[in-house]
Amino acid sequence: MNEHSDLTSTTLGFIYPLFIIYGLYIIFNGHISPGGGFQGGAVLSAMFISKYLILPLLDTPLAKIQTVEKLLLLLIVATPILFLLTRFNTAYAVLNTPYLILMNTLIGFKVACGMSVIFLRFVFYEMQ
Amino acid sequence: MKRRRTIALAIFICFAAVFWMTRQATLVTDAPVAAYYIENAYHDTASVNVVTAIYLNYRYYDTIFEALMLLFSIIGVIYMSVHEGSEHDE
Amino acid sequence: MLNLTLLALVVFSLFAVQTQKLRHAVIYLGAFSMSIAFVYLLYDAPDVALAEAIIGSSLSTILYLVALQKYKIFTIYICVNDKEIEDAHFFSGEKTLERQLSKFCAREELEPQIIYTVEDVHKLFEHPYAIIVTFDKQYITLYAHPENYKMQAMEQFLLNEKPADTPYRFIQMED
């Protein structure tokens, strides 16, 4: 798996954009079709992980990703509390769809960040 | 120490506020809940997918704590995996 | 359709438990995840099916494969006396020895890498190796690397197995 393989790198080069489009589609269409934040985030992190197959190099700033992830968690906690508990959802019913899309996006990016951090940490920091 | 105490106080105030606001909310206790969700999900939450309506609107505490659980598992992985070069980017 | 997939689930899980090599077990687990995702789809739960398909068959498969790669790889050279390697070798006495060695590696949770070669023994000492096996008329000789600490266990194991026609000779190399 560590040797460079032309076949894998060319194939993954074709598949990469499809990964991104499919992941974003699952995230943004979570409220009309099956799927949602978690599944879309897992697809996006599968993209990061399959990058390891062609180029096993640690060029991702892990510390920054962790900070981003903590900020996203804060937003995930804050958004439903500010929107649902304050009864905004009954007062302004128009805002319901933007709320769903926003929450799905936040959850999706948080899951993508988290799973990539777990995987990269495991691969590069766990020596024999 | 002072910073930690401030953070703990802030979290406690948030918890108290959320608890109080939850007590204010009226509960829907009509008998079969599943039928209620299927009937009223689109009207209440504007979501065609009932699963999304449940996990982002009716049962959003589940979602919040699931996200928190993912963060905890990452913290666990970071503590478990030790490496010689890991001091400088902690 | 549903019954067929449920049967496939049982078959894949049995394969995953029964196989000797861990790599094969990982691939069987990936196939198991794919079929159980299909079962979820047939049970009208597309959300769960999506999550299972992605996590079970891509993320955890890659994670297990990487974990297996961090295993110590146990390199075994088998020296063949002839000038060229022929297919006939793979059915003779070397084959039984190879099978016993892989059984030992499976028991000790090592990843065996068995290489047949026609090179001289002294040249092979420069390569990274764990064990070099040579055959001659009196002995089957096993040279072990100085840092190979599995030699005692392997000696015990080989002597307990069905003995070969020619006796074994174990030599632990020194630096």
Contact list in A for residue C47 (CB cut-off 8 A) is 34-36, 39
- A24-38 average pLDDT score: 88
A22 near B CB under 8 A: no
Range of the domain at B23: 2-86
Collapsed DSSP state (helix, strand, coil) of residue C150: coil
User: Inter-chain contact A42–C54, Cβ cutoff 8 Å?
Assistant: yes
C171: part of which helix (H) or strand (E)? strand C168-172
- Find out whether C136 and C164 touch, Cβ atoms under 8 Å: no
Ranges of each domain in chain C: 2-69, 73-172
Tokens of C132: 């070099």
User: Inter-chain contact A115–C51, Cβ cutoff 8 Å?
Assistant: no
> Is the Cα torsion angle C47, A24, B75, C109 positive or negative in sign?
positive
Residue B59's pLDDT is 84
Residue A4's pLDDT is 67
- Find out whether A65 and B16 touch, Cβ atoms under 8 Å: no
Ranges of each domain in chain A: 6-125
Contact list in A for residue C69 (CB cut-off 8 A) is 1-2
User: The domain C73-172: what is its CATH number?
Assistant: 3.40.190
What's the structural domain count of chain B? 1
Closest to B74 in 3D by CA, of A61, A79, A111, A27: A111
Give A49: exposed, middle or buried? Use CB within 10 Å, 0-12, 13-18, 19+. Answer: buried
Segments of chain C with pLDDT less than 70: 71-72, 81-94, 109, 137, 149, 162-166, 175
CA distance C104 to C159: 12
Looking at the complex, report in whole angstroms how far the Cα of residue B36 sits from the nearest Cα belonging to chain A.
17
Residues with Cβ within 8 Å of C95's Cβ and at least 6 positions away in sequence, in order, are: C89
pLDDT tens sequence across A76-125: 988 888 888 777 777 787 888 888 899 999 999 999 999 988 888 888 77
Residue A108's pLDDT is 93
Q: Which residue of A has its CA nearest to C57?
A: A46
Residue B90's pLDDT is 42
Residues with Cβ within 8 Å of C10's Cβ and at least 6 positions away in sequence, in order, are: none
Residue B18 has its nearest CB partner, among A85, A111, A114, at A85
pLDDT tens sequence across A9-20: 888 888 889 989
Backbone angles phi, psi at A42, to 5 degrees: -65, -40
Segments of chain B with pLDDT less than 70: 27-31, 82-90
- Find out whether C37 and C52 touch, Cβ atoms under 8 Å: yes
- Find out whether C114 and C169 touch, Cβ atoms under 8 Å: no
Q: Which residue of B has its CA nearest to A77?
A: B64
Residue A128's pLDDT is 47
Contact list in C for residue A52 (CB cut-off 8 A) is 62, 66
CA distance B55 to B45: 11
Residue A33's pLDDT is 86
Tokens of A57: 């190099």
ipTM of the complex: 0.80
A7 near C CB under 8 A: no
pTM of the model: 0.71
